[in-house]
Amino acid sequence: MYGQPEQEDFTMFKHYLITAWRNLIKNGLFSGINIFGLAIGLMSCILILLFVRNESGYDQWFEGSEQVVRLHSGFHMPNRPPFDTVRSSGRMMEAIKAFASNEVQSGARVVQQGLSVQKGTDVYPQDVSMVDGSFLDIFPLDFIEGSLETSFKRPMDMLITRDLAIKYFGRTDVVGETLTLCCVASNPVTLPVSGVIQNLPENTHLNTDLLVYMQPRIFADSPNILESWGSLNVYTYFKLRQGATVEQLQERVNYWLNNESPFKKMYEDNVGELPSGMQISDHVKLRIMPVSDIHLHAKAHAGSMGDLTPLGDYNMIVTFVVVAALILLIACINFMNLATARASQRAREVAMRKVLGASRRQIALQFLGESVMLVIIALLFALAAVELILPFYSQLLGRELHLNLLGDLSLLATLLGLAIMVGVGAGIYPALFLSGYKPAQVLTSTKGAESSGSGKLRIALVIFQFAISVVLIIATLIVYGQTRYSTNIDVGYRYDNKLILNVFYAQDRLDALKQELEKLPQVKQVVYTSDAPTQDRENNRGYKLLASSDGKAGQPDAQMLNYYSTDYGFFNAYEIEPVAGRVFDPAYGSDKVIRPETLGQDISNASAIINQSAARRFGFNDPQQAIGRTLEVSLYENQIHHLTIIGVVPDVHFRSIKFSIRPSIYLLREDRFNNANIVFSGHDIPTLMQQVEQIWKKVVPMQPIYLDFLSEMMAAQYAEQATTAKLFGAFSLLAIVVACLGLYGLAAFTAERRTREIGIRKVMGAEVSDIVRLLVWQFSKPVMLAILLGWPVGILLMRHWLQDFPYRLDNWWFIPVCVLAGLLSLLVAWFTVGGNATRVARRNPVHSLRHE
Amino acid sequence: MLTLNHVCKSFQTQDVETLALNNVTFDISRGEFVAIMGPSGCGKSTLLNIIGMLDTPNSGDYYFMNENVATYNETQLARIRKKHIGFIFQNFNLIDELTVAENIELALLYHGISEQERKHKVADVMDKVGIAHRAGHRPSQLSGGQQQRVAVARAVVGNQSMILADEPTGNLDSSHGEEVMKMLEALNDEGTTIVMVTHSPEHAQFARRTINLFDGQVITQNVRAA
Ligand SMILES: Nc1ncnc2c1ncn2[C@@H]1O[C@H](COP(=O)(O)OP(=O)(O)OP(=O)(O)O)[C@@H](O)[C@H]1O
Ligand SMILES: [Mg+2]
């Protein structure tokens, strides 16, 4: 007896399922549009969801990860663009560990170096993480061979991951085997493998597959790595004590910075007296960030140099989550609109069911069931589409994303929950609307029981959909335009026909290399520099303008300038003409900065070229005034150099225009050369590349070659932005497609309802074109209104977005962009409605007039 | 006015082919009042639709004002139609969303006439058929007879020289039916050619000539003595 009601429920359920299915089949257009639209909306959501899950799960893979933080640094000096980095100086770790011993349990530094591994005659580029022994206390790695106790105890102990062991040895039991690294402190070293660890997961910010227990002595010749306060070359991690918070440590660090650290003295030496009311922590930033925040939030601290692995972009993720939700919303609106638009078709069914005793609740549930069923079918299509698109999507984003529903029950549950939410969300209004019909009204009237209210709501929703589309089109165009603007801006020099060869590991062979390279028929010129465009480091020093011998005043305070080292011929090669004075010239013989034999003795002399920003900083309104003046600087420990300004060059965009131009100085300092700028002519690029590689192999046999086209390096600066533009374009397109699907359906249903009227008009002499115009115009009004609404929103949003770019599109660009976005939406709407309208208008009116 | 020569029209539905008009030949001169009669399904409406250029014959020639329109395309037919032909239907076929005046104006909308002139003509014709006092009403607020008067007004407002009426009195009671017939008679007196399908022998009496159809063929033509 107890089974009875359930039995009945089940029969009812089955009955509803069957009716739902039949309705689905019967209303092909309605079902098709909704399934397709919802599938696109769900697909967008799933794609974004996968990305978000991947991005937000970083660095939580190890025990105690919530207690691990990293120290980020920044110099925010007066009158200079701020300099930020996720790295820190080598002495910071010990100092903070000692001062904040109540908060910090342990600390470790990582010196990340791009070295090479030599196997036989092959040379492989290899990133090497030199770490303090305490690194493994902070990041507990799993050992496959060896153990924490035995394998990482002595300096120069070396761990490699499983993948690396297989790459270099073809197996994993390789403890005792050796690898030759090149180069550690300018010398190749051969180290035995002391342990093999499990591969690190994909979602970590660490780029660690080869670790070496750091022997501080090996950096004795490069004191700026471990022994410096001001050079930011290491990554510093701390593990907090149980109960200590990030905020406590941050407070402690700030206290240390303002009261105990050597930065106050450094500031006074380099910049001058600290203005009253200011603290050191206003200028020097030491910021503590939990490692699990690094991937999504470190971008704000990372400046121009990035991190160990490419960082995620929190703002971009939020943006795309919103966009995906909007696409789904548009699809839901389609469902609501179409369901109510064809309501009159189903009014009779509802009335009959009510006459036969169905309650309003039962009918509402029936309609809800239908919409959930539709959404679940759409979900299946969406999953299939995601499966197809995922490889391309992963590639575009540079992430490895997987869809594994069965192995990931939380994802499955999320998706099912989403489907039901969408089904109910989209179905609730039509369900209430349809179930509210009064049987008597419907069965006695011959016309559809359509209220004008639901018609108005439909139009309002169409306006909303198209307003979103217009905003998305504007956003896409502006992102695209800004990317074009960035790549096409006049950087102030020629970057075509140049190859950049990294010569960091060929310091002792620069002359031989240059000689060989310049013998090549296609090579016009080889110039050494510290930095090539796009890859510049922050190199700051204080330069003090001295009074001139003829009585012109100097400046009391030093100015912080960024400095580049360039060889003779640099300005020539890049076609940068000085605006005053001359460029470096061997004929003068006095331009070079030379490291004196003994330090701290006499003052040394050399020449300097400054850019116009620097000239202004020194108070020269006319660049000519700078020529012949002297700057004082300390380039080698306590050694004083006097630099004579021999030329002023224009401000050029040496790095991405995401950053503004800094006051800069160019010195001819050979011990800083890292790059060969190879200027070539001719078109046989493959041969040229081959020849350069051969020369490299001959001159520097131990090192892998790093050779790039400058033009490609320039383009790569904007690759991320270009990806954003592409994604935006794709998602906007999807949004518009879904909106148009809805419009198409709505137009089709409306035209269906108006067939008699259309017939009458045709009999009255209307031509096909008149009818098409009538139907198209009906939907042009809401779309135009949507455009008017979308414009201000799009303009506001995108002006905000552009704020982040120091060099950006002019405001007048919004005019063509808005006009284009408007025209595009209108045209798309016309096409959508027009095709169907033409079909309807061509119909012979006789039929519709007779069968009314 | 028009000549039909061996006109045939058939409809293909599923497997069945219906020969709605079989070799129909006759002509109608300017100013005539012709009634078409016959049992249900014999092809009367089909014939009227072809005359009204809402449909085209499968074979045969149709000369309208000395032009063979049998081969014209839709747009060409629409242009002739709106200039010369007005329609009246059994079920009135007024648009519910428009007022009486707007329904009538519809017939002028596609003629390229200025709005002022349109308003003028609509007012004139409403006076003529006696529904001026209902100009702002919706069709659903009028009686059947009144609705048909609106339809008549709509059919003649563009100075059409021929009116095609498909059972114009079919949905009306006898007094309203009589009213509409009188109106058509008056229009015929003014020189308008009228072709009317009717089941009512009484109303057929208003016509000068009656064409009897049976199974898509003309069987007899009776001319009423003047
Ligand atoms: N569009 C069509 N498709 C198929 N068959 C049609 C079509 N129009 C008319 N017919 C068929 O052609 C024949 C003639 O139809 P028509 O409407 O001309 O008859 P009628 O004489 O006007 O009849 P009634 O007096 O009932 O209005 C009928 O058999 C009808 O079923
Ligand atoms: Mg008929």
Instruction: Give tens-digit pLDDT for B164-217.
Output: 999 998 888 888 889 889 989 999 999 999 999 999 999 999 999 999 999 999
Please report whether residue B168 resides in a domain: yes
Q: What is the pLDDT averaged over residues A429-458?
A: 69
Mean pLDDT, chain B, as a whole number?
89
Residue B42 in contact with ligand 1 by CB distance below 6 A: yes
Please report whether residue A3 resides in a domain: no
Interface test with A, best of B46, B51, B54, B113 (most A CBs within 10 A): B54
CB A110 within 8 A of CB A87: no
Tell which of A281, A302, A323 closes a domain. A302
- Cα–Cα distance for residue pair A755/A750, rounded to 1 Å: 9
Which amino acid residue places its CA nearest to atom 25 of ligand 1?
Answer: B40
Residue A444 and residue A509 in one domain: no
- Cα–Cα distance for residue pair A646/A552, rounded to 1 Å: 17
pLDDT value of position A353: 78
- The DSSP 8-state label assigned to residue A567 in this structure reads -
- The DSSP 8-state label assigned to residue A298 in this structure reads T
Query: Which ligand does the CA of B20 lie closest to?
Result: 1
Residue A228 and residue A364 in one domain: no
Please name the amino acid found at residue A635: L
Which residues are B8's β-sheet partners?
A: B59
Is a pLDDT exceeding 70 seen at residue A450?
no
* Residue A846 to residue B87, Cβ atoms within 8 A: no
Residue A49 tokens read as: 């969801």
A to B CB pairs, distance under 8 Å: 63
- Cα–Cα distance for residue pair A625/A581, rounded to 1 Å: 10
Query: From the alpha carbon of B48, which atom of ligand 1 is closest?
Result: 18
Q: What is the pLDDT averaged over residues A391-396?
A: 91
Residue A570 and residue A602 in one domain: yes
Phi, psi of A200 (to 5 degrees): -75, 150
Mean pLDDT, chain A, as a whole number?
87
Give the chain B residue nearest A846 (alpha carbons).
Answer: B54
Residue A338 and residue A395 in one domain: yes
CB A565 within 8 A of CB A668: yes
Which range marks the domain in which residue A796 is found?
11-52+315-485+719-850
For chain B, give the number of residues: 226
Query: In sequence order, which residues have a C-beta less than 8 Å from that of residue A65 and are 6 or more positions away?
Result: A59, A291, A292
Distance from CA of A27 to the nearest CA of B (A): 22
Interface test with B, best of A445, A760, A774 (most B CBs within 10 A): A760
Residue B12 in contact with ligand 1 by CB distance below 6 A: no
Around ion ligand 2, residues with a beta carbon closer than 5 Å are B 45
Please report whether residue B69 resides in a domain: no
Please report whether residue A6 resides in a domain: no
> Tokens 């033409």 map to which residue?
A838
Q: Is the peptide bond before A183 cis (omega within 30 degrees of 0)?
A: yes
- Cα–Cα distance for residue pair B26/A114, rounded to 1 Å: 99
Q: Which pLDDT band, with edges at 50, 70 and 90, does A245 fall under?
A: very high
Is a pLDDT exceeding 60 seen at residue B62?
yes
Query: Which ligand does the CA of B199 lie closest to?
Result: 1
CA of B86 to the centre of ligand 1 (A): 21
Residue A553 tokens read as: 């005043």
Closest partner CB to B81 (pick from A757, A765, A844): A765
Give the chain B residue nearest A452 (alpha carbons).
Answer: B97
Query: In sequence order, which residues have a C-beta less than 8 Å from that of residue B14 and are 6 or more positions away?
Result: none
pLDDT value of position A464: 93
Give the chain B residue nearest A841 (alpha carbons).
Answer: B74
Instruction: Report which secondary-structure segment, H or E, holds A315.
Output: helix A314-341
How far is CA A309 from each of CA A58, A61, A296, A298, B65, rounded to the nearest angstrom?
Answer: 12, 16, 12, 11, 85
Distance from CA of A760 to the nearest CA of B (A): 7
Segment of A8-22, A457-471, A751-765 carrying the highest mean pLDDT: A457-471
How far is CA A624 from each of CA A98, A558, A620, A662, B203, rounded to the nearest angstrom?
Answer: 52, 21, 8, 20, 109
Output b/e per residue, A793-803; b: 16+ Cβ within 10 A.
ebbeebeebbe
pLDDT value of position B113: 85
Q: How far is C-alpha A703 from the geometric centre of its chain's CA atoms?
A: 32
Query: In sequence order, which residues have a C-beta less than 8 Å from that of residue A664 and are 6 or more positions away?
Result: A561, A562, A563, A564, A610, A611, A613, A614, A654
pLDDT value of position A171: 93
Interface test with A, best of B90, B106, B113, B167 (most A CBs within 10 A): B106
CA of A837 to the centre of ligand 1 (A): 27
pLDDT value of position A149: 87
For the ranges A29-43, A431-445, A559-573, the lowest mean pLDDT is seen at: A431-445
* Residue B106 to residue A761, Cβ atoms within 8 A: yes
Query: In sequence order, which residues have a C-beta less than 8 Å from that of residue B71 and are 6 or more positions away?
Result: none
Residue B216, domain CATH: 3.40.50.300
Please report whether residue B62 resides in a domain: no
- Cα–Cα distance for residue pair A485/A592, rounded to 1 Å: 38
Please report whether residue A309 resides in a domain: no
- Cα–Cα distance for residue pair A221/A851, rounded to 1 Å: 97
Span A110-139, pLDDT tens digits: 999 888 888 877 788 899 999 999 999 999
Q: Which chain B residues are within 8 Å of A764, Cβ to Cβ? A: 82, 87, 106-107, 109-110, 154
Residue B40 in contact with ligand 1 by CB distance below 6 A: yes
Residue B73 in contact with ligand 1 by CB distance below 6 A: no
3-state secondary structure of A43: helix
CA of A846 to the centre of ligand 2 (A): 11
- Cα–Cα distance for residue pair B146/B144, rounded to 1 Å: 5
Span A559-584, pLDDT tens digits: 888 889 999 999 999 999 999 999 99
pLDDT value of position A335: 86
Interface test with A, best of B76, B95, B162 (most A CBs within 10 A): B95
Greater model confidence, A352 or A451: A352
Please report whether residue B38 resides in a domain: yes
- Cα–Cα distance for residue pair A824/A826, rounded to 1 Å: 5
Query: From the alpha carbon of B213, which atom of ligand 1 is closest?
Result: 21
Q: Which chain B residues are within 8 Å of A766, Cβ to Cβ? A: 78, 82, 109-110
Q: What is the pLDDT averaged over residues A699-721?
A: 86
Closest partner CB to B93 (pick from A768, A770, A849): A849
Q: Which pLDDT band, with edges at 50, 70 and 90, does A448 fall under?
A: very low
Residue A520 and residue A601 in one domain: yes
How far is CA A544 from each of CA A89, A634, B94, B98, rounded to the nearest angstrom?
Answer: 25, 10, 92, 86
- Order of all β-strands in the sheet with B85-89: B85-89, B162-166, B193-197, B33-37, B209-214, B217-223
pLDDT > 90 fraction of chain A, expressed in percent and rounded: 43
Nearest Cα residue to A162 out of A198, A119, A201, A124 = A198
Is a pLDDT exceeding 70 seen at residue B3?
yes
Please report whether residue A554 resides in a domain: yes
Residue A697 and residue A741 in one domain: no
Please report whether residue A733 resides in a domain: yes
Query: From the alpha carbon of B43, which atom of ligand 1 is closest?
Result: 18
Closest partner CB to B54 (pick from A756, A770, A845): A845
CA of B166 to the centre of ligand 2 (A): 7
Q: How far apart are the first and last CA of chain A?
A: 52
Residue B18 in contact with ligand 1 by CB distance below 6 A: yes
Residue A663 and residue A779 in one domain: no
Q: How many domains does one find in chain A?
A: 3
Q: Is B81 part of the contact surface with chain A (CB cutoff 8 Å)?
A: yes
Tell which of A664, A685, A716 closes a domain. A716
Closest partner CB to B74 (pick from A757, A763, A768): A768
> Tokens 């005043």 map to which residue?
A553
Please report whether residue A218 resides in a domain: yes
- Cα–Cα distance for residue pair A838/A820, rounded to 1 Å: 26
Q: Quick one: three-class SS letters along chain B?
A: CEEEEEEEEEEEECCEEEEEEEEEEEEECCCCEEEEECCCCCCHHHHHHHHCCCCCCCEEEEEECCEEHHHCCHHHHHHHHHHHEEEEECCCCCCCCCCHHHHHHHHHHCCCCCHHHHHHHHHHHHHHHCCHHHCCCCHHHCCHHHHHHHHHHHHHCCCCCEEEEECCCCCCCHHHHHHHHHHHHHHHHCCCEEEEECCCHHHHCCCCEEEEEECCEEEEEEECCC
Q: How far apart are the first and last CA of chain B?
A: 21
Residue A664 and residue A726 in one domain: no
Is a pLDDT exceeding 80 seen at residue A232?
yes
Q: What is the CB neighbour count within 10 angstroms for residue A285? A: 19
pLDDT value of position A329: 92
- Cα–Cα distance for residue pair A494/A589, rounded to 1 Å: 27
Distance from CA of B91 to the nearest CA of A (A): 8
Residue B14 in contact with ligand 1 by CB distance below 6 A: no
Nearest Cα residue to A400 out of A112, A27, A53 = A53
Which amino acid residue places its CA nearest to atom 23 of ligand 1?
Answer: B41
Q: How many domains does one find in chain B?
A: 1
* Residue A765 to residue B158, Cβ atoms within 8 A: yes
Residue A143 tokens read as: 């050992």
Which range marks the domain in which residue B199 is found?
29-56+74-223
- Cα–Cα distance for residue pair A755/A847, rounded to 1 Å: 10
Give the chain A residue nearest B83 (alpha carbons).
Answer: A765
Residue A560 tokens read as: 């912080």
Q: How far is C-alpha A22 from the geometric centre of its chain's CA atoms?
A: 47
Residue B39 in contact with ligand 1 by CB distance below 6 A: no
Is a pLDDT exceeding 90 seen at residue A173?
yes
Nearest Cα residue to A708 out of A489, A463, A535 = A535
Residue B41 in contact with ligand 1 by CB distance below 6 A: yes
- Cα–Cα distance for residue pair B108/A812, rounded to 1 Å: 46
CB A104 within 8 A of CB A96: yes
Residue A238 and residue A90 in one domain: yes
Q: What is the pLDDT averaged over residues A158-177?
A: 94
pLDDT value of position A800: 92
ipTM metric: 0.86
Is a pLDDT exceeding 70 seen at residue A850?
no
Please report whether residue B41 resides in a domain: yes
Q: Which pLDDT band, with edges at 50, 70 and 90, does B225 fall under?
A: low
* Residue B95 to residue A760, Cβ atoms within 8 A: yes
Is a pLDDT exceeding 70 seen at residue A814?
yes
Please report whether residue B4 resides in a domain: no
Q: CA A808, A812, A813: angle at the middle one, nearest 5?
A: 65
Residue A43 and residue A85 in one domain: no
Residue A709 and residue A753 in one domain: no
CB A791 within 8 A of CB A837: no
Span A246-281, pLDDT tens digits: 999 999 999 999 988 888 888 887 777 888 888 899
Instruction: Report which secondary-structure segment, H or E, holds A648.
Output: strand A639-649
Which residues are B211's β-sheet partners?
A: B36, B221
Residue B211 in contact with ligand 1 by CB distance below 6 A: no
Please report whether residue B20 resides in a domain: no
Please report whether residue A492 resides in a domain: no
Q: Is B93 part of the contact surface with chain A (CB cutoff 8 Å)?
A: yes
* Residue B49 to residue A846, Cβ atoms within 8 A: yes
Residue A264 and residue A328 in one domain: no
Q: Which chain B residues are within 8 Å of A767, Cβ to Cβ? A: 74-75, 78-79, 110
pLDDT value of position A852: 45
Query: Which ligand does the CA of B22 lie closest to?
Result: 1
Phi, psi of A691 (to 5 degrees): -65, -40
Span B120-139, pLDDT tens digits: 999 999 998 888 999 999 88
